[in-house]
Every structure is written in structure tokens, then in C-alpha cells.
């Protein structure tokens, strides 16, 4: 089985490439620079794709995009975040649609940001889009894969939650503070966090490649937690106190608009379709997830 992947240098991409190769599968990495290795194919998210090298691949997993929390959200960076996802997805899906031997499945990334702020309300994939920059982005991001749908390719949109890993993402960035006993909740701490362990995220992507699901699928653990519960769980896992509070105004000052849509937003997304399809979580609750991630 041949699987092509964009975003192979990111947190999820690296882990997925390792997992697939460990299974003995052939991985083709789509890179934006000139290809220099046998497993690389060049693509330009805003231009062309080396389609000849993709003829006959069985699946494509599209993970590329500028990091949401990598920079302060200026208008220029928001455009970069949006264009890297929407235009990149459109370019790739059109290229796949032109292939003579198309892949059976196109797993094209999305996020639980689709739902906006849900407060205390649990939501599944049947919920409507919310409001805000991320919600609008996710709507356009998913719609950009329509050429692949029209070409008869099974398209799945994994709406990812917060991925827990010690190698990257929010948890990795905050671990040094927690290890020093300087961790704490963000704002009121009442906001819900839809999270998933990196191991379950990779297993779920593998499941989506093979299972036959299409459309949106929440990649979140079945037990979302509030930020207060999340903070206390990290403290327990590290055997450190986590007594501090980062006030909402301080977060807004430091992070700008991302504070309200990334750090303070409340999203209680449930993996309804994944669970009903028979996927089994290795880490369904926050304590088992952190024990594994931090072991």
C-alpha cells in the first residue's frame, strides 16, 4: 500500500510516517522544496503538483498548514494560516482529481475549531459551524476538497482536537513550567478542552484510511475536560503543584485574537462517528493519556 502525506515534518506528520513505515507500508512525502530523496515528491500549495509521481497511490493524507499558535495573530499571519490550508487543499484536491489512477481516499485535515465556542454544550459532527476566524477557516478548508469529492474519491475530514504530545504542541510548550511547579489554569478554567493523545490520533488517522468513513470525523477523546481539570491532571502526572492562574486579559495581551479562539475558547466536541464506527481509544481519559505521553 502506498500512502502520500503532506506536512510530514510536523508533529502529526512525523509520527504518522513512522507508524506507517513500521507497518511496512510505502510512504511518499510531499515537500515544498525540490525533492532530494527517493520518497519525496515536490508540490507547491499555491501552484502545481508532480501528479505523475502520485499515479496509483492508494491514499493521500493532507496535514500541511501554517501553525495556528506559532505566531501572534496579525492580519498578515491570519491570511497565511488561511491560505496555507484552503489554497493548499484546493491545489492538491484538483491534482488528485486529474489523476488517471486516483487514490481511494483523501484524508484532508480540519479542526474542532469548526464549532466555534460551544460553551458547556457537547457537540458531535452533526453540529453546525460556529462563529469566528477558525470556524470560517474550517468551513472553507473542508470545502476546498470538493474537487476530489466530485472526482469520486472518498474524502474524510478529521476535525482534530488538542493533540497531547511531549514532542510538540501546547503540552510540550507548557511542560517546562509545570515541571517547575509554575503551571496553572488559563482564565476561569471553566472552558472545555477537546483533546486526544498523539497515539490515538495516529491510530485514528490509520483507521480513517481503511474504514470507509467519509465527511467530517471528530478526532477527540470521548472524555473532554475543563481547563481546570486538565491543569490538575498535568500536575498529578508530574507530581508538581499547579497553583497559578493566567488571567484572561494577560492572555489577550500576549496572544492577541488567538487567546479567545485558541486558549480561552470552550469546545466540548465528542467523537461520535469514530466511536460508532468501532474505533477503540487506547487513552479515553486524561489521566491515562498523560501517563502514556509523559512516561
For the chain, domains (ranges, CATH) are: 2-293 (3.40.50.720)
Return the pLDDT at 286. Answer: 98
pTM of the model: 0.96
Share of the chain above pLDDT 90, in %: 93
pLDDT at 44: 95
For the chain, what is the mean pLDDT? 96
pLDDT at 194: 98
| pLDDT < 70 stretches in the chain | none
In this prediction, residue 253 carries a pLDDT of 87
The pLDDT of residue 140 is 98
Q: Which residues contact 63 (CB under 8 A, 6 or more apart)?
A: 5, 6, 7, 8, 10, 12, 13, 16, 109
The pLDDT assigned to 255 comes to 84
Amino acid at each position: 500500500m502506498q500512502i502520500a502525506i503532506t506536512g510530514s515534518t510536523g508533529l502529526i506528520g512525523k509520527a504518522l510516517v513512522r507508524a506507517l513505515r513500521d507497518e511496512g507500508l510505502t510512504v511518499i512525502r510531499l515537500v515544498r522544496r525540490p525533492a532530494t530523496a527517493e520518497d519525496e515528491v515536490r508540490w507547491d500549495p499555491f501552484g502545481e503538483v508532480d501528479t505523475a509521481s502520485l499515479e496509483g497511490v492508494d491514499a493521500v493524507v493532507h496535514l500541511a498548514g501554517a501553525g495556528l499558535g506559532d505566531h501572534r495573530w496579525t492580519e498578515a499571519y491570519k491570511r497565511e494560516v488561511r491560505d496555507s490550508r484552503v489554497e493548499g487543499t484546493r491545489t492538491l484536491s484538483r491534482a488528485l482529481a486529474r489523476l488517471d489512477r486516483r487514490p481511494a481516499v483523501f484524508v484532508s485535515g480540519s479542526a474542532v475549531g469548526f464549532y466555534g465556542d460551544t460553551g458547556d454544550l457537547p457537540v458531535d459532527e452533526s453540529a453546525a459551524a460556529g462563529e469566528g476566524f477558525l470556524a470560517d477557516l474550517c468551513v472553507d478548508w473542508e470545502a476546498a476538497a470538493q474537487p476530489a469529492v466530485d472526482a469520486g474519491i472518498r474524502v474524510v475530514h478529521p476535525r482534530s482536537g488538542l493533540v497531547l504530545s511531549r514532542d510538540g504542541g501546547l503540552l510540550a510548550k507548557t511542560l517546562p513550567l509545570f515541571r517547575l511547579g509554575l503551571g496553572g489554569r488559563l482564565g476561569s478554567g471553566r472552558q472545555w478542552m477537546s483533546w486526544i493523545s498523539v497515539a490515538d490520533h495516529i491510530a485514528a488517522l490509520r483507521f480513517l484510511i481503511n474504514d470507509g468513513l467519509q465527511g467530517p470525523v471528530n478526532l477527540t477523546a470521548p472524555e473532554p475536560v475543563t481547563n481546570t481539570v486538565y491543569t490538575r491532571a498535568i500536575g498529578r502526572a508530574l507530581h508538581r503543584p499547579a497553583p497559578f492562574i493566567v488571567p484572561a486579559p494577560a492572555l489577550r495581551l500576549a496572544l492577541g485574537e488567538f487567546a479567545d479562539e485558541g486558549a480561552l475558547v470552550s469546545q466540548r466536541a465528542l467523537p461520535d462517528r469514530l466511536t460508532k464506527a468501532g474505533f477503540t481509544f487506547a487513552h479515553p481519559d486524561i489521566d491515562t493519556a498523560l501517563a502514556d505521553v509523559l512516561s
